[in-house]
Structure 1
């Protein structure tokens, strides 16, 4: 699963700033993203500290 606008590289490997990665609470390579919309949409996301802020 990935965000539709994601380049496909692991976000930790990128050497430059990524507007997509910075615009959502979790990285586009997160397995919890909805496959169609690319937005956080799973039970996993509900407890993710990037989303909950905890």
Structure 2
């Protein structure tokens, strides 16, 4: 069985870690898949989850 650290020690990014710049792309919008698994039973089509903090939403 996996330990807690093995399950949740993946890389986490914040807004300061990511910079999006408009540019030309060969990828067509209809070919993009931004879905991810939030849990075994929950699939998110847009991978955005609110922060579990009362000062951030």
Relative to the length of structure 2, the TM-score reads 0.19
The higher relative CO (CA closer than 8 Å, separation ≥ 6) is in: 1
Structure with greater strand share of residues? 2
Q: TM-score, normalised by structure 1?
A: 0.20
Tell which structure's C-alpha radius of gyration is larger.
2
